[in-house]
Structure 1
């Protein structure tokens, strides 16, 4: 499950924002993921196809901000992430492509 929300754009498409536990932080961290898609169902399907199976959007408690919408619309993949805002997160952190989140972390030898 995830906290988040969505925003419908004038052209009918949506931007979905979700706060998810980080897949590789051992449950201690969280990330904010933005997805640009035709509709909410397709946005969630894009995330599920990447391996994030338990992703659901219930309600619209934390919709994307105008800056987040601009960021995802200007990214070629339309799927980006950064550390979720919080006490330990830097407000000026850059958005990253989803590929960098889904890569397996380096294991020490």
Structure 2
């Protein structure tokens, strides 16, 4: 699941969308991550600085949709995620979440 893509905006910034495997062990589906940055390299650097070291963008197979671009533009961090959409299920789409909720480690059980 290495699909991803980018879209250059009129103001020169770039929105990068990546489908990544879920960092949680119990989740069978992946996540779709959106990053707003000055260029593609900076977008990938933002993800790598958060601990997602093996993140690469090869090609433009799955660029962000207009709705995804709007979502990341209106988020103060410019870095959001949700579970990757499943083509077989066309139910209500999941809301976008800030990246810190994805990377937060679950609390240890006493």
Do they fold alike, i.e. is TM over 0.5? Answer: yes
- Using the size of structure 2 for normalisation, the TM-score is 0.91
Unaligned runs of at least 5 residues, structure 2: none
Alignment partners' CA distance in 1, 2:30 and 2:90: 10
Q: CA RMSD in A?
A: 1.8
Separation in structure 1 between the aligned mates of residue 15 and residue 34 of structure 2, nearest angstrom? 7
Displacement of 1:27 in angstroms is 6.6
2:105 corresponding residue in structure 1 = 104
Aligned length: 109
Report SS of the residue matched to 1:108.
coil
Structure 1 residue matching 2:43: 3-state secondary structure = helix
Give unmatched runs, 5+ long, in structure 1: none
Partner of 2:73: 73
Residues 27-59 of structure 1, C-alpha deviation per residue, up to 9 Å, x if partnerless?
A: 722000000000000000000000000000000
Cα deviation code 1:48-101 (max 9, x no counterpart): 000000000000000000000000000000000000001468542100000000
* 1:39 counterpart = 2:44: no
TM-score, structure 1 as length reference: 0.91
User: Residue 48 in 1 paired to residue 27 in 2?
Assistant: no
Aligned to 2:58: 58
The Cα shift of 1:2 comes to 2.5
